[in-house]
Structure 1
Amino acid sequence: MLRAHPKLSITTLPMLTAEVHFSFTKETEFCFTAVMQLADLKLQGLADSRRLWTSFSELARILKIRNKTFEYIQEHWDEDEFFGYQFLNGLNPMMIQRCSKLPDNFPVTDDMVKDSLRGSSLKQEMKKGNIFLSDYKILDELVGNIISGRQQYLTAPLVLLYCNPHGMMLPIAIQLKQKPSKENPIFLPTDSKTDWILAKIFVRNAEFGVHEVDFHLLRTHLLAEVFTVATLRNLPSPHPLYKLLFPHIRYTLQINIMARNQLISKDGAITMYAGVGGESLAKLLKRATASLTYSALCLPENISERGLENVPYYYYRDDGMKLWNIINKFVAAFLSHYYQCDADVQKDTELQDWISEIFTNGFLGRDGSGIPTSFQTVTELVKFVTMVIFTASAQHSAVNNGQFDFGGWMPNYPTALRKPPPKEKGQTPEHMILETLPDVSTTVNGTAVLRLLSKDSADHYPLGHFPENLHDEDIPCKLIEEFQKDLRELSDLIEERNMKLELPYTYLNPKNVDNSVAI
C-alpha cells in the first residue's frame, strides 16, 4: 500500500529518525515478541503442544491473567445476545449494516425465522428497520493457512440479525459460504445447540480475519503510516499542519516495522498461527485496499451509509461521534487560524504536495476511493485532517485495545479452525466443536499475541496531550486547552454511563485513546 521513499526505509529500525523512534522507556519495555507474553500468561509449557483441548474447563484453567470483561465473555460467549452485541460494540463494530433487501445468495425464508421474529415477517421487520446484515464476502474463496503441517479452514459467512423490541441485536440466520447449495445450509437458532454454536464459531473466525487484516492492519496501522510518511516528506517542522499532526504520527513507523517483521513476515505470528495467514492474508489485504473509500473512514458518513443512526445500545457510534465532533471542532479552529480563506489553502504548495502523495501512494491513485487529490477549501482540509487524527487515535483504539478482552477466551475469537464447516444439519456431534477449534499451541501463541497488542506501554500519551510542546502562540495554546477540556467532559460522561452497564464500553473514553498508532 505504501511506496517507500529511498531515504526512508520502512523495513529496518536503525534508519528511523529520532523524532519517530521509540523513546528509551518504550524501547526497553516493549519487546515485540510473544515469548514475553507467554511468560506473563504462564503458558510456556503449552507453546509447542499440538494436542487438542479436552474441554472448555481445561482451557479456562490455564489462563491466569484476566479482567472483568474477559470473565464476562468467558461466561456469555455462546449466547445469542452477546454474539449480536459484538457486532455493535466488540472488536469490529464496522461490518454490520441495515438490510432492506436480502442478497440473492442468501435465501432466508419467513418460515425459517418465524420463531425469531415472533410471527412477524422479514418484509415487515425490514420496513421497520429492524433487520441487519453482516456479509463477509471479502473472504470468499480464500484458502485457509497451513499451521503445524495441518490445513485450516476459512468461510465467508452471511449473518442475518434482528433488533428485537428490547433493543437486543440477535442472530437469526447464518450461511457459512457465499454460494447457496444443499451442502451449504442456512443455520438457525432453532437448530441443534451444536450446529448453532459451531456456525457462530465459524463467523467469529471470519471476524478474526476481516478485523485483523482489514479494519485493524489496513485501516489504522497502514493508513497511519501513509499519513506519517507524507507528513515527514512534505511538511517542514514549522508548518502548522506538521505541528498539529506530529503527536498523531509518534512511534507509528517503528511499530509498523516491528509488525511487518514479527507478525506478517514468513515466520511471523499471524503466518504461523492464523487461518488467514500466508497467501490469503496478501489477497485479503489487496481486496480491502481496492475497496477502501474516504466515506468509510469518516465516521458520520460511515454510520449513515450503513443505516445505523438509530440502533440502540451502539456505544461505539455514540462515543465515536462525540469524539469525531470534538476533534473536528478543534481542527477547524486551529486550521482556520492559519488558513483564513480558501485561497490560503490553494496556494500552500507543501499542503497540496502532502495530499497528492496520500492520494497517489496511499490510495494508489484510485478516483473511486473518493480521497481528494488536492484541497480547494478550508472546509475540505478540516474534514480530511479530522479523519486523519480520528483514524490514528480513536479508530485505532476502538479496534485495538480490546483484543485480549474479547479474544483471550479463544472460542469467542479463534485465530484458526481445524475442520471444514458442516455440510448438513443435525449430524454434528458435540465433540466436533473442540476438534474444530485451534489446538493448544495455536491457542496459546495466538492469545499471547493478542495480549501483547492490547497491552498499554508506560510511555503513552492519551488523545489531547502534546508532549513535544511545539506551540508557542497564544491562540493555538488556548485552542489546545479547550480541546483538552472537551475531552475531559466526554470522559466524565462515558464513565457515568458505564457505571450503569453490565459490560462497560471503555475503548473510546479519551483517557484510553492513544494520540497515535503506537501499539
Structure 2
Amino acid sequence: MDGKPQWKQVFTPGTSATSCWLWKLAKAHALAHDSGYHQLISHWLRTHCCTEPYIIAANRQLSAMHPIYRLLHPYFRYTMEINALARIALINAGGVIESTFSPRKYAIEMSSIIYGLEWRFDHEALPANLISRGMAVEDPSAPHGLKLTIEDYPFASDGLELWSILKQWVTDYVSHYYSDSSLVESDEELQAWWTEVRTVGHADKKNEPWWPNLKTTEDLIHVVTTIIWVASGHHAAVNFGQYAYAGYFPNRPTITRSKMPTEDPTDEEWKHFLEKPEETLLRSFPSQLQATKVMTILDVLSGHSPEEEYLGENLEPTWEAEPNIKAAFEKFNGRLKELEGIIDGRNANEDLKNRNGAGVVPYELLKPFSTPGVTAKGVPNSISI
C-alpha cells in the first residue's frame, strides 16, 4: 500500500462506498438548487424586490409629514439604492447570480414565475407564513397564538418573539394617531398609498381576494407590521448568515458543473465515477473563479457597516418630538434588549439540539444588535445591503 485510495479494490457497484459517494454527489446537487432558491426567492424576491412597491407608493402618495410615512421611513432607507446596485452587478444578465448560481440564465425568470405562483402579501406576516408552510397551527392557548409543529425551530421561535415586539411598537405608534378606525378609512393619503401598492405595484395581483383591507386601526397595524418585519427581521434572517453557512463552498455549493451520473454500466461518466468518485465530486463543485466570486459577494452581503442602523436603536427626530411616541420607542428598545438575553438563554439550553451541542452553531441571526463586520447576527432597520 502506498497510501493512495485503492478504489478498484474497495469501490465497486453495490458497495456501501458507492452509496456514500452517490449520496455526497446528490447532496451537492440538492444544496446547489437550494442555494439558488434561497438567493432568488427567500432573499431577492421576498425582501428586496417586493419591498419596492411599498416604498415607491409611499413616496408618491404620502406627504413627508404623514405619520405613517414618518413611521416607515427608517425601514425604507437605502433599499432603492441597494436594489439599483444589485441590478447593475448581481442579478443582471451575465452577472454574479447568473454565472455562479444553479438557475444560471433562468435566474430572474424563475424568480418571476414563483412570484406569480406563490407570493401573496397575507403570507408575508411571520405567523401566517409559518402556518402556510405547515410549520405551525393556530392555538389560542400557546404563546403568540401558534403551536410550532417543530418546537425546536430557531427561526420561528426567535422570529415570533421579534414579531410580537415589532407589532407592539407599531400598535403603540398607530394607535396614537388613529385612535378610531374611522380615521383610517377617511385618510385619503393613506388609502391612496395602499391602493397604489395593490393596483400599481402589484398590478398583476390587484384582484386577488387575499389582500388585506385597510378600514380599521387593526388593519393598518397588521399591514405596517408585516412590511417592517419583511424589511428587518425577515431580511436579516436570510441575509446575514450567508457567509457563515456558504463562505466555505463545499458546505453549500451554489452551482454544480456536471450532471448526476446514471447507473448505466455502459455510460462513461458512470465508469469514471466508479473509478474516481472523489474526482467526480470535485468536478461537480463550482470552479475556482465561481467559488471566489461567491465567497467575495457573500462576505460583502453578510457584513455590517460601522454606520449600521439597527432595529430600535436610533430614535428618529420626529418621534422624539412627540412624548407618547418617544416613550413607546423606549419601550420598544428595552424589549429588543431583553430579546438578546432570551436568545442567549436558548442557545445555552442543552435540550435545544438545533442550536446547542457539538458541531452546532448557536442561532443568532435574529439577535437585534451587532458589532461591525461579518457576525451572523444583528437586525438592521432596513434592507440596506
The alignment's TM-score, normalised by the length of structure 1, stands at: 0.61
Return the match for 2:211 from 371, 381, 385. Answer: 371
For 2:172, give the aligned amino acid: A
Distance in 2 (CA, whole Å) between partners of 1:378 and 1:342 is 5
Decide whether the 8 Å contact of 2:43 with 2:239 is kept in 1.
Answer: yes
Distance in 2 (CA, whole Å) between partners of 1:489 and 1:334 is 20
Give how far 1:492 is off.
1.1
**Corresponding residue for residue 335 of structure 2:** 486
In structure 1, stretches of 5+ residues that fail to align are: 1-188
Decide whether the 8 Å contact of 1:363 with 1:369 is kept in 2.
Answer: no
**Corresponding residue for residue 434 of structure 1:** 282
In structure 2, stretches of 5+ residues that fail to align are: 1-15, 136-147, 350-355, 370-377
Give how far 1:365 is off.
4.3
For 2:297, give the aligned amino acid: V
Distance 1:224 1:447, change over 3 A: same
**Corresponding residue for residue 379 of structure 2:** 513
Equivalences for residues 11-410 of structure 1 within 5 A: 192-278=19-105, 280-290=106-116, 291-308=118-135, 309-366=148-205, 367-368=207-208, 370-372=210-212, 374-410=213-249
Distance 1:342 1:365, change over 3 A: farther
Decide whether the 8 Å contact of 2:32 with 2:101 is kept in 1.
Answer: no
Distance in 1 (CA, whole Å) between partners of 2:48 and 2:28 is 27
The alignment's TM-score, normalised by the length of structure 2, stands at: 0.81
Decide whether the 8 Å contact of 1:247 with 1:466 is kept in 2.
Answer: no
For 1:370, give the aligned amino acid: W
Give how far 1:452 is off.
1.1
Distance 1:301 1:425, change over 3 A: farther
Secondary structure at the residue paired with 2:92?
coil
**Corresponding residue for residue 39 of structure 1:** none
Distance in 2 (CA, whole Å) between partners of 1:491 and 1:461 is 17
Aligned length: 329
**Corresponding residue for residue 449 of structure 1:** 297
Distance in 2 (CA, whole Å) between partners of 1:369 and 1:404 is 39
Decide whether the 8 Å contact of 2:89 with 2:96 is kept in 1.
Answer: yes
For 1:478, give the aligned amino acid: A
